[in-house]
Structure 1
Amino acid sequence: MTYTLKKLFMLIVIISLNACGGDSSSESNDKKDNSNKSEQVTTNNHAFNITVNDGLAPLLINQPDATEHLSAGLGTTNMVDQNAYSQAIEAIVDEPQLDAVFKAGDHTFRSNHDGQGPLFNNSSCQGCHIKDGRGQVPSTADEAMSSMFLRIGDSLGNVEPTYGDQLQVFGTINGRSGGVIAKYRGALDEGLAYGEAYTWVEYERVTGTFSDGETYELRKPIYKIKDLAYGDFIDDVQFSARVTPHVYGSGLLESIPQQHLLAYADPTDNNNDGISGRPAYTSHPVSGEKQIARFGQKAVTGSVLQQIAGAYRGDMGVTNSINSAEPCTDAQTACLAQAERENNKHHNGVDLNDVDLAQVEFYNRTLAVPKRRGFDVSTQLWQEEILAGRAQFYAANCHSCHVPRYKTAQAPGSVLGDVDLVSLSDARTNIIALEQQVIYPYTDLLLHDMGGSCVVSKELIDGQSCNEGEQCIYVQRCEGLADGRPEGEATASEWKTPPLWGLGLVQTVNPKATFLHDGRARSIQEAIIWHDGEAKASQQAFINMDKTQRTALLAFLGSL
């Protein structure tokens, strides 16, 4: 297939939308007002104005775009079964050399690696990102976390001095197959690299009622940690549970112009709508250049390469040229000793060579996004319930964080260089398949305060307090979505808005998958009800909907 690139004309589009719950015939910008902009447009006595140089017509509330069923433009796949998240963008498939690199990256993504450990959470990328989608919460307390984990630190954002910034539940001990789970003081008393700690989650049931009288039930997580292999945590320890997110569409998100994301930021809530999204920044891992952070659940990495390189080191214990240090802290002598026994560092002193790393980066960047459901291509008509749910989405102001639409710009090649099946070159050829695509990811990639707070205690199995010893368990209870642990530029209650595209296929791809950053929500409905902080008004709008309206909104979200 041949694709003709059209030059992007820089057109200033003033896009207006009406207030939350307003008339459905008004136009919508992709989000909300920024008071530092000029020429405000007033609709129904509420001023909104956003200047976007993408050349697109205003996004309407009462009528979807003609291409809205194509979630990622030409980066959309028609696959909507259990393999929906694992497809290459068609333009990549049509180029044999690029398709070969995609397949090579796919193979590496699914493979175990020499030099893994001494500490890790899973042995492959695919083991965490199940079928390139979400991980899952263990079904029982006896099942070790393998596609979710706990980050760790203190309430000020510092790493835990003994355990670092992430608890790895498996260790590597010579002569023992597979990962070895934690043993209380095992690393200290035996000098062996056991997993750092055993972690699990229990749930408290929370019930509530919609305004029409229908009841609902939520799961409130309680995180527990035992069998600390390297001794006690610091007194001010905090934990952050993370279920592995999906990876499809990453290259398209990376190709959204930075200025378009910044246009939606309103960190001091100048327009007084209660929503104050703000960007987080990070340093480019090679150049050191400051860049907006787009990846990670608290927005800590700025590129696909930075994200996967960090995951290789932190999640699998696989060092690479971007993250060359083993996942051991200076206090973990057993881990350091095991690292010295690794005898397979053949790639300039690291476990993963740059060819493999670049292939996995390319694979991640060129995974397609599933098409929308509920649209009849032959008639060009949407199902009425989905249209009604789309209107409810805007009426509840969900789009103020889950911004529907962008147009991608340039997609430079990897900083590692162009990769083929066996080597890297100094060239950096743009990935044309990612460029100039109108996409509908439903995210602003900004940080938002979702409210809540956390308390960590030390308890015996029966709930009595304790101070130390093998039977003394660390327990974290939180109100709301907070985790108590700042990370990067995010506070203890801030999270990056996750993209919603592909949302309706989460449990088609992985029937055991659940929702939100920690997997507490068993359904999309539960995920909405957990929203608080800046999203409280939208959550209350959902609570106040009648059954028909709620059903329509959920149908819309399920179509994404």
Structure 2
Amino acid sequence: MRCSTPRRWTKPSKIVLAAGLIAALPHLAPPALAQDLPDLHLDALPRTPQEITRLEAATAAPTDPTQAQRFELRAGGAGTVRVRRGNDAFLQPPANLTREQAMTFRLGQALFERQWASAPASTIASDGLGPLFNARGCSNCHQRGGRGQPPVEGADHSSLFLRISVPAPDGTAGPDGIAEWIATEPHPVYGSQMQDFAIQGQQAEYHLAVDWEEIPVALNGGETASLRRPLWRPEDLAFGPLGEAAMLSPRVAPQMIGLGLLEAIPAAEILALADPDDADGDGISGRANIVWSLEFDAPMLGRFGHKAGAPSLREQSAMAFSSDIGLSTALLPAGWGDCTAAQTACRDAPDGGDETHGGLEVPDPALNLVTFYTGMLGVPARRDVSDPEVLRGRAIFHEAGCAACHRPAHVTARLRDRDDPRSFQLIWPYTDLLLHDMGEGLADHRPEGRATGTEWRTAPLWGIGLTERVSGYANFLHDGRARTLLEAILWHGGEAQSARDQIVELAPDDRAALLRFLGSL
């Protein structure tokens, strides 16, 4: 952490920064764990007592939230990038990359932006698409590193897809070492994700349709907001009806910045924030999603995805290659992607597996390049940090309790590789990476691992004020229903109901100040 200790702080926050202390604080540890969860994906050094003292100070809530804190301008630590005037604000490498790392970043970017073709093709390094797919390349959904677009009138593209599963048979147990696992399994015909495109000679699984319902919400001060409730419908089903047991969850692609920094936060420090029984009585009871790692064959903390279903960026990338594009990797080696045994024509289609790479379409060197790129997209600097209205909005953010879930600051692990740009950075992502019950309004009623049908991972807020500049539109939440940040806030329920109601009751100028603060992130 390339900074000195700030001068003014409140009492230490409830985070416990020593990894070994979780076992001594059972009320903070997730009940699923009989032991600490190791960071199997990191080569990190343990925190020293001196570091723990510094970190407690650096991540504590401000004594006076109406005054700017030191270092918060650098939201992504030493790698923070300057804000671009154009729409490429989320496409920059961190400022602290070495020359060699910068070259690796550009190679990964080229693979991320590659448009894949169906097999066989003249270029074997680019074939293997499908047979079923949602996009031809990673960047099709994550355009310019930003958020995805739901299907709305006037949009030139959509990156929304449907996750699908069914309840597992009674008596099905979760993976060893993971309690409270909600047993589900892929749909017997449509798999784990519904694909709306197919290569020539194959059938796309469905067409996505939506009806929007406008819901007026009265705000204090005579103002009114309108929420847009979607009703998603899979139509033109190619392989028969889904059945009553099918559970669907719409998802749009999240923004990509700072993912490697989130991956480098020690799991112990995220787990220490969990308070599943609300032992401190603040109404917030975040839980960790513990998932089974394909790479390490062990339980790990889930960090990525709207329900924290992936433990690492490498596994998240492999899952996206398989389900979104239909490409095989060492972690998910099926050349037919998400095609099920019931989809025989799909499984019989040729794939792009290369014998020189173990029959894989995306061999490890390529997967590692894409993983590096997705983990190294730089976080833009904050704007207007010392503006009086922004500071007033930040004070309201804290007073309303928003920071209980959208935790402002973390410090990444000290990594053994001294050149790793993620190592020991004070960062400001505004998330606790935990699951929270968000109420019936946002529920998808589809469990994922330990996450229930009403729980979602706290979305990071860094860069959120640049969404429209990057993407040309502003759609928030897991399915893109919210057209503004105010709409996103008003959809909050469950654990966030109290904070949401306080914002409804704010005077209009205070509400505007809160939104101005969020726009500065």
User: Does TM, normalized by the shorter one, top 0.5?
Assistant: yes
Give the one of 380, 394, 403 matched to 1:370: 380
Structure 1 counterpart of 2:230, one-letter code: P
2:392 equivalent in structure 1: 388
3-state DSSP class of the match of 2:414?
Answer: coil
Matches within 5 A, 1:144-543: 146-154=158-166, 157-173=184-200, 192-325=201-334, 326=336, 327-338=338-349, 341-342=350-351, 344-346=353-355, 347-375=357-385, 382-411=386-415, 429=417, 432-452=420-440, 480-543=441-504
Shift of 1:106: 0.5
Tell whether the 8 Å contact from 2:474 to 2:484 is kept in structure 1 after alignment.
no
In 2: Cα distance, 1:407 partner to 1:147 partner: 32
Structure 2 counterpart of 1:360, one-letter code: V
Pair 446,331 (structure 1): closer, same or farther in 2 beyond 3 Å = same
Report the more deviating stretch, 393-402 or 109-118: 109-118
In 1: Cα distance, 2:134 partner to 2:367 partner: 19
Higher fraction of strand: 1
Given the two structures, how large is their TM-score scaled by the length of structure 1? 0.77
Given the two structures, how large is their TM-score scaled by the length of structure 2? 0.83
Tell whether the 8 Å contact from 1:127 to 1:146 is kept in structure 2 after alignment.
no
Unaligned runs of 5+ in 2: 17-21, 27-48, 117-126, 168-182
In 2: Cα distance, 1:512 partner to 1:495 partner: 23
Please report the RMSD computed on the Cα atoms of aligned residues, expressed in angstroms: 2.6
Report the more deviating stretch, 152-161 or 117-126: 152-161
Tell me how many residue pairs correspond in the alignment: 457
Structure 1 counterpart of 2:421, one-letter code: A
Pair 310,335 (structure 1): closer, same or farther in 2 beyond 3 Å = same
3-state DSSP class of the match of 1:550?
Answer: helix
3-state DSSP class of the match of 1:217?
Answer: strand
In 1: Cα distance, 2:229 partner to 2:422 partner: 39
In 2: Cα distance, 1:411 partner to 1:321 partner: 26
Tell whether the 8 Å contact from 2:465 to 2:518 is kept in structure 1 after alignment.
yes
Shift of 1:232: 1.3
Pair 8,535 (structure 1): closer, same or farther in 2 beyond 3 Å = same
3-state DSSP class of the match of 1:59?
Answer: coil
In 2: Cα distance, 1:259 partner to 1:396 partner: 27
Percentage of matched positions with identical amino acids: 39
In 2: Cα distance, 1:59 partner to 1:224 partner: 43
In 1: Cα distance, 2:15 partner to 2:488 partner: 22
Shift of 1:212: 2.1
- 1:96 equivalenced with 2:106 (yes/no): no
Tell whether the 8 Å contact from 1:145 to 1:169 is kept in structure 2 after alignment.
no
Tell whether the 8 Å contact from 2:195 to 2:324 is kept in structure 1 after alignment.
yes
- 1:105 equivalenced with 2:118 (yes/no): no
Pair 321,37 (structure 1): closer, same or farther in 2 beyond 3 Å = closer
Shift of 1:282: 1.6
In 1: Cα distance, 2:148 partner to 2:138 partner: 11
Which 4+ runs in 1 deviate beyond 4 A? 5-9, 28-31, 143-146
Structure 2 counterpart of 1:59, one-letter code: A
Pair 55,220 (structure 1): closer, same or farther in 2 beyond 3 Å = same
- 1:546 equivalenced with 2:477 (yes/no): no
1:39-61 C-alpha deviation (Å, 9 max, x unpaired): xxxxxxxxxxxx99361324314
Shift of 1:145: 6.8
Shift of 1:260: 1.2
Pair 7,135 (structure 1): closer, same or farther in 2 beyond 3 Å = closer
In 1: Cα distance, 2:142 partner to 2:11 partner: 38
Larger radius of gyration between Structure 1 and Structure 2: 1
1:106-150 C-alpha deviation (Å, 9 max, x unpaired): 000000231010011001111111101111112339x89741111
Shift of 1:250: 0.5
Tell whether the 8 Å contact from 1:203 to 1:222 is kept in structure 2 after alignment.
yes
Structure 2 counterpart of 1:204, one-letter code: E
Tell whether the 8 Å contact from 2:221 to 2:507 is kept in structure 1 after alignment.
yes
Pair 54,229 (structure 1): closer, same or farther in 2 beyond 3 Å = farther
Shift of 1:98: 1.2
Shift of 1:65: 1.9
In 1: Cα distance, 2:53 partner to 2:272 partner: 12
In 2: Cα distance, 1:342 partner to 1:333 partner: 14
1:53 equivalent in structure 2: 52
In 1: Cα distance, 2:262 partner to 2:280 partner: 27
In 1: Cα distance, 2:195 partner to 2:74 partner: 39
In 2: Cα distance, 1:254 partner to 1:200 partner: 35
* Higher relative contact order (Cα pairs below 8 Å, separated by 6+ residues): 2
Structure 2 counterpart of 1:318, one-letter code: L
Structure 1 counterpart of 2:137, one-letter code: S
Shift of 1:6: 7.3
Shift of 1:311: 0.4
2:38 equivalent in structure 1: none
